[in-house]
Amino acid sequence: MSLAIVTGGSRGLGFETARALKEQGHEVLLIAKDPERLAAVAAKLNCQFRAVDLADLAETRSVFTEVLQTFGAPQILVLAHGVMSEKMSKTLRTTNEEWRRVMAINLDSVFCAVNILGAAMAEARDGRIIVFSACLGRMSGPGNTGGLAPYRISKAGVNALVRNLAHETNHGTRGLLVDAVCPNHTRTDMGGPDAPLSVEEGADTAIWLATRDFDPSVDQTGFLWEEREVIPW
């Protein structure tokens, strides 16, 4: 039985991804901020959990280190946590506090998780890392066209981190896959009740990436994916 760690696993896309992986027979460990909600969801899925404020990097590093020591390297790491920036957070209006809040959660904690857990996965030559990004983080298309600066730029950073790590680990030939996912506008707390996609639809590509067959001679890793297809970013 393989271990899957899912951040943001107490709600939305993270929960749906965790639920699907658990249903497929994986051992699941949930990570999220709210301990009461997290405990209730973990009981529902019959899985382990750890509560952590991912905006606190010292606490985040401590928890991920403890998780690695306790459970060993996961085979699947899905980083589904994230926050939206304030509506008026344009580059020239964003405060230091708002910039740091969004960057810490959306990008810095992703680095922290990959730096600790991903290193062990790479050493084991066995692992898939999937990071929920956003189409608003694309440099092309609907990407960095102004407004919501901390959010857009943090997600562009996620895309760059994924691509850089894929190069460093030789594009899957050493057993580690790393990819980013654009779930599109999904009915979550962030997306709102009127979004066009269900959480099942929004999580589908991440679940597929976490479990797909992979042949490094023909398949791709280190990209931004949308609806199971590579998209430019």
Q: Per residue in 109-153, pLDDT tens?
A: 999 999 999 999 999 999 999 999 998 888 776 656 677 899 999
Determine how β-strand 76-79 pairs with β-strand 48-51.
unpaired
| Rg of the chain on CA atoms, in Å | 16
Residue 28 reports pLDDT greater than 80: yes
pLDDT tens sequence across 143-189: 566 778 999 999 999 999 999 999 999 999 999 999 999 998 767 77
Dist. CA 151–CA 142, nearest whole Å: 13
Helix, strand, coil percent content, the chain, rounded in steps of 5:
45, 15, 40
Give the domain 3-231 fold: Rossmann fold (3.40.50)
Count of positions (residues) in the chain: 233
pLDDT at residue 197, rounded to an integer: 78
Indicate the pTM of the whole model.
Answer: 0.95
- Tens-digit pLDDT profile for residues 30-80: 999 999 999 999 999 999 999 999 999 999 999 999 999 999 999 999 999
The Cα-based distances of 170 to 127, 156, 166, 217 in angstroms read 13, 21, 6, 12
